[in-house]
A and B are shown apart, each in its own frame.
Chain A
Amino acid sequence: MIPELGQFALVLAAVVALMQSTVPLVGAAQGNSRWMSLGSHAAVGQCLLILLAFAILAYEHIVSDFTVENVFQNSFAAMPLLYKITGVWGNHEGSMLLWVMILSIYGMLIALFGNNLPRGLKARVLAVQGMIGLGFLAFILATSDPFNRLIDPPADGQGLNPLLQDPGLAFHPPFLYLGYVGFSVAFSFAVAALIEGRVDPAWARWVRPWTLVAWSALTLGVAMGSWWAYYTLGWGGWWGWDPVENASLMPWLAGTALLHSAIVVEKRDALKSWTILLAILTFSLSLIGTFLVRSGLTTSVHSFALDPRRGIFVLGLLIAATGGALILYAIRAPSLKIGGLFQPISREGGLVLNNLILTTMCATVFIGTLFPTFMSAMGKTISVGPPYFNFCCQVLTPFLAIGLGVGAMLPWKRADLPGVLSRLKFAAAISVVVAIAVYYLHNGGPVLAIPAMMLAVWLVASAVTEIAERIRLFAIPFSHSMARAVSLPRAAWGMTLAHAGLGIAIAGMTGTALWTQERIQAMAPGESVELAGYQVQLKSVGPVEGPNYDAERATFIVTDTGHYVATLSAERRVVHPQETSVTNIGIRTNFFADIYAVVGESDPGKPGAYVTRLYYHPLVPWIWVGSVIMVLGGIVSLTDRRLRIGAPLRRLANIPEALPAE
């Protein structure tokens, strides 16, 4: 009975979404305020219904009700409670439910906190949100019903995919979806603005915080995904250019561009139609990400849904959303008023450069990811591997990083480039010195490491220079500088943090890409190998038993010229009931480098020996430390007074609504 209640809630939510997507739109066109306000009520109602459905599915998973097919296929009575809960979205049906749930939460937040929005804009935004919700609810009900029952319920479930039984991956999808789906708000605002034919700084002030929320969540989601790949998959890497990873990177790149171009709309009333286009593209790329994972068009560890019917449905949604929005764009965008003009060398110019580079990166990833897949589906095979992506990123990132340091210092409208450059000479000198010092401390390595480290240091140093100039550090007494620092807009601190975080992450990527050491060998207990100056000894290998797995555990002792450093334990687990083997990696980190140990199968050629892989990864933790700092930057920026209060908006809301431009 309870699962049927969940299904009923979903059907009802679809009906409410249908109302939400039509009535407010008509109301806004005719100036009928009652019809417009229905949008808010419907958004709240839709959200509560979907929350109920999700709670019911979670309950079914927690109590292990195997009469529900979804629970049977993805749960297992003896599984730890944490994974029973995260198993709710560790499968196709549940993750789609999570998707619409997050969408409807965003819709509800717009309804509840959007009181200072112009009524017509709010009604239209909610209507577009309703349309997206309706599309995905229809998708769930038609092809992916999570509440499907089994006529002949089995005694126990099949268990959650062992790879997903991991805290890193368990919380990766919610953040990823918080990001993907968060861009729907920017999309809805863009479409609403096209319907109204009007984009103004107030519009951008509204879009910015939502984009920031989505961007911060997506940054965290992508970082968690790569962290998970690093410490569970056991191949020693952290980013494989796997289509599903790329699917999350593309909206991130486009969303980063959107975040920056929206600033230009807000501050200078320029780049309007470009920002609208970016908002449409960013959400479309999020939809493509969903499509890639859900359609099974790519073969990768993430793709657990292999059903072409679903693929065609999501493709239909993608065509309707993106195609519809782009047609609207083609019709309405030319009539948008062109805003403030600026010189090429100016803050606006810098942000345009940022947008050009980020969208170029996004396009190269898009081409590299999608075309090979579809070529092979048509019977041809071309291979685009990590070398292509690495090459493109290595070519583009320097421009991005150099431009970023300079651009952040430029004033609006027109700038004095030589002046700015001379203010940055200190940052430039530091990056050269530090890069060369690091290179020698590391006893050499590829020469490419010097320019790469220079870029990383440059990003941090220029971000610090920028904030130091703002608070006039050393130019005025220190206490005055501190007072300035406190009163500086939070958005400024957010920018500094995010930019410095990117620098730290790039340092981590460089370190692990260029200085990694790897030893693969057959080792019998008692033997040692040398790794980056450490002695790693395989102490013992023995069986251990976990809650739902049996494992062989290898214990390694790491010493540095006779001094004990760490004990690592790596396992090779066979998880029940699927009998899948999973590696569990031993990692020892000291924040500057990781020692990483994987134990493989016993070696047939050498009695009593096991194949072991040992890695030394310099700076790798910085990738995630940097990402978290970027996320913190986003959060700090979100707490900016300007975004919280929206003071200018309230005044705007009282003006009678302006007529559409056409």
Chain B
Amino acid sequence: MRRLLFILPVLVFVGIVVYFATPLLRGIDPSVIPSPLIDKPVPAFALPPLPGYPKGLSSADLKGQVQIVNIFASWCVPCRAEAPALMALKKMNIPIQGIDQKDKPADALEYLKELGDPYVSIGADLDRKVSIDWGAYGAPETFIVDANGRIRFKQAAPITQDDIDNTIVPLINRLRTEK
């Protein structure tokens, strides 16, 4: 009986390890943190355009159809990495709205010229206030917003072709059939 008491610590430890190691070993990426904004309406905002663009971006633009919202910046290296994937989405006629986070407008224009402009319209979030309302920790972050203007998906990492094929396109197709 007394011996059992001494075995208890190691048993508890094994239990904790099994519980904690499971998500790690299953390969669940801890950087995917569920957003508390999922299924909530997009935050109300109105951002000015980048210089030379006709219009900026506001929450009113995110109603009526299923759209992607992508937060990017010219200083962000992973954003460069995901730029081709965004261009591929544009070719599939999926509308993407951009939020340019904490950027110098001139740098942003240079960036878009260099890597292509996949965005329908871009809001210049120079002081990062709107990005914070979206719960963004950094860039790039990608959201899918349904026709009612509710956030349905968030990814806090660069989009890959794999994400497009297995997550984004199936979800958008499903949301498009939703009423």
Do A and B pair up? The answer is yes
Q: How far is the CA of A7 from the CA of B36 in the complex (A)?
A: 45
Question: Could you write out 26 A-B pairs with CB less than 8 Å apart?
Answer: A280-B9, A281-B9, A296-B31, A299-B33, A308-B24, A308-B30, A311-B24, A312-B24, A315-B21, A315-B24, A319-B17, A323-B10, A326-B10, A326-B13, A329-B6, A329-B9, A330-B3, A330-B7, A333-B6, A334-B2, A376-B33, A376-B34, A377-B23, A378-B23, A378-B28, A381-B34
Q: Are A322 and B13 in contact (CB under 8 A)?
A: yes
Cβ < 8 Å to A, chain B residues 69-103: 75, 102
Q: Nearest CB to that of A331 among chain B residues?
A: B6
Cβ < 8 Å to B, chain A residues 558-581: 579
Q: Is residue A475 contacting chain B, with contact meaning CB distance below 8 A? A: no
Chain A contacts for B127, CB-based, 8 A: 601
Chain A contacts for B162, CB-based, 8 A: none
Q: How far is the CA of A315 from the CA of B21 in the complex (A)?
A: 8
Q: Is residue A224 contacting chain B, with contact meaning CB distance below 8 A? A: no
Chain B contacts for A299, CB-based, 8 A: 33, 137
**A334-B2, A334-B3 as given contacts; A308 in contact with B29, CB under 8 Å:** yes
Q: Nearest CB to that of B75 among chain A residues?
A: A579
Q: Are A296 and B6 in contact (CB under 8 A)?
A: no
Cβ < 8 Å to B, chain A residues 336-387: 370, 374, 376-379, 381
Contact with B along A290-323 (1 / 0, CB 8 A): 0000011101000000101001100100010011
Chain A contacts for B166, CB-based, 8 A: none
**A308-B30, A311-B24, A370-B20 as given contacts; A273 in contact with B10, CB under 8 Å:** no
Going nearest first, the 7 A-B pairs with the smallest beta carbon separation are A326-B10, A377-B23, A330-B7, A333-B6, A378-B23, A326-B9, A297-B30
Q: Are A273 and B34 in contact (CB under 8 A)?
A: no
Q: How far is the CA of A579 from the CA of B107 in the complex (A)?
A: 13
Q: Are A329 and B10 in contact (CB under 8 A)?
A: yes
Q: Is residue A447 contacting chain B, with contact meaning CB distance below 8 A? A: no
Q: Are A378 and B10 in contact (CB under 8 A)?
A: no
Q: How far is the CA of A379 from the CA of B6 in the complex (A)?
A: 35
Tell me what chain B mostly uses at the interface: helix, strand, loop, or mixed.
helix
Chain A contacts for B24, CB-based, 8 A: 308, 311-312, 315, 377
Q: Nearest CB to that of A378 among chain B residues?
A: B23
Chain B contacts for A330, CB-based, 8 A: 3, 6-7, 9-10
With beta carbons under 8 angstroms apart, the residue of A297, A323, A326, A374 that contacts B19 is A374
Cβ < 8 Å to B, chain A residues 376-431: 376-379, 381
Residue of B19, B23, B34 contacting most chain A CB atoms (<10 Å) = B23
Q: Are A374 and B33 in contact (CB under 8 A)?
A: no
Q: Is residue B14 contacting chain A, with contact meaning CB distance below 8 A? A: yes
Chain B contacts for A297, CB-based, 8 A: 30
Cβ < 8 Å to A, chain B residues 113-163: 127, 129, 137
Q: How far is the CB of A372 from chain B (nearest CB, A)?
A: 11
Q: Are A377 and B10 in contact (CB under 8 A)?
A: no
Chain A contact residues, CB within 8 Å of chain B? 273, 277, 280-281, 295-297, 299, 306, 308, 311-312, 315, 319, 322-323, 326-327, 329-330, 333-334, 370, 374, 376-379, 381, 579, 601
Cβ < 8 Å to A, chain B residues 7-58: 7, 9-10, 13-14, 17, 19-25, 28-31, 33-34, 36
Q: How far is the CA of A471 from the CA of B72 in the complex (A)?
A: 69
Chain B contacts for A329, CB-based, 8 A: 6, 9-10
Q: How far is the CA of A323 from the CA of B16 in the complex (A)?
A: 11
Q: How far is the CA of A117 from the CA of B33 in the complex (A)?
A: 51
Q: Are B13 and A323 in contact (CB under 8 A)?
A: yes
Chain B contacts for A322, CB-based, 8 A: 13
Q: How far is the CA of A306 from the CA of B13 in the complex (A)?
A: 25
Q: Are B34 and A379 in contact (CB under 8 A)?
A: yes
Q: Are B30 and A273 in contact (CB under 8 A)?
A: no
Chain B contacts for A277, CB-based, 8 A: 9
**Number of contacts between A and B (CB, 8 Å)?**
65
Chain B contacts for A315, CB-based, 8 A: 20-21, 24
Chain A contacts for B10, CB-based, 8 A: 323, 326-327, 329-330
Q: Are A306 and B31 in contact (CB under 8 A)?
A: yes
Q: Nearest CB to that of A371 among chain B residues?
A: B19
Chain A contacts for B20, CB-based, 8 A: 315, 370, 374
Q: How far is the CA of A323 from the CA of B11 in the complex (A)?
A: 9
Chain B contacts for A311, CB-based, 8 A: 24, 30
Q: How far is the CA of A299 from the CA of B14 in the complex (A)?
A: 25
Chain B contacts for A273, CB-based, 8 A: 6
Chain B contacts for A296, CB-based, 8 A: 30-31
Residue of A311, A326, A377 contacting most chain B CB atoms (<10 Å) = A377
Q: How far is the CB of B171 from chain A (nearest CB, A)?
A: 16
Q: How far is the CA of A379 from the CA of B20 in the complex (A)?
A: 13
Q: Nearest CB to that of B27 among chain A residues?
A: A308
Q: How far is the CB of B21 from chain A (nearest CB, A)?
A: 6
Beyond the given pairs A277-B9, A376-B34, A378-B28, 12 more chain A to chain B contacts, judged by CB atoms under 8 angstroms and listed by A's residue number, are: A280-B9, A297-B30, A308-B29, A315-B21, A323-B13, A330-B3, A330-B7, A374-B20, A379-B34, A381-B34, A381-B36, A579-B75
Q: How far is the CA of A323 from the CA of B13 in the complex (A)?
A: 7
Q: How far is the CB of B1 from chain A (nearest CB, A)?
A: 10
Q: How far is the CA of A295 from the CA of B102 in the complex (A)?
A: 28
Chain A contacts for B31, CB-based, 8 A: 296, 306
Q: Are A378 and B9 in contact (CB under 8 A)?
A: no
Q: Are B28 and A377 in contact (CB under 8 A)?
A: yes
Q: Nearest CB to that of B17 among chain A residues?
A: A319
Q: How far is the CA of A159 from the CA of B29 in the complex (A)?
A: 28
Q: Nearest CB to that of B20 among chain A residues?
A: A374
Q: Nearest CB to that of B8 among chain A residues?
A: A330
Chain A contacts for B23, CB-based, 8 A: 374, 377-378
Q: How far is the CB of B25 from chain A (nearest CB, A)?
A: 8
Q: How far is the CB of A655 from chain B (nearest CB, A)?
A: 28
Chain A contacts for B7, CB-based, 8 A: 330
Q: Nearest CB to that of A381 among chain B residues?
A: B34
Q: Nearest CB to that of A338 among chain B residues?
A: B2
Chain A contacts for B137, CB-based, 8 A: 299
Chain A contacts for B29, CB-based, 8 A: 308
Q: How far is the CB of B31 from chain A (nearest CB, A)?
A: 6
Q: How far is the CA of A59 from the CA of B158 in the complex (A)?
A: 36
Q: How far is the CB of B165 from chain A (nearest CB, A)?
A: 21
Chain B contacts for A308, CB-based, 8 A: 24, 29-30
Chain B contacts for A601, CB-based, 8 A: 127, 129
Q: How far is the CA of A144 from the CA of B137 in the complex (A)?
A: 25
Q: How far is the CB of A296 from chain B (nearest CB, A)?
A: 6
Residue of B22, B28, B36, B129 contacting most chain A CB atoms (<10 Å) = B28
Chain B contacts for A377, CB-based, 8 A: 23-24, 28, 30
Q: How far is the CA of A296 from the CA of B32 in the complex (A)?
A: 11
Chain A contacts for B14, CB-based, 8 A: 323
Chain A contacts for B75, CB-based, 8 A: 579
Chain A contacts for B22, CB-based, 8 A: 378
Q: How far is the CA of A374 from the CA of B28 in the complex (A)?
A: 11
Q: Nearest CB to that of A296 among chain B residues?
A: B30
Q: How far is the CA of A299 from the CA of B135 in the complex (A)?
A: 13
Q: How far is the CA of A312 from the CA of B24 in the complex (A)?
A: 7
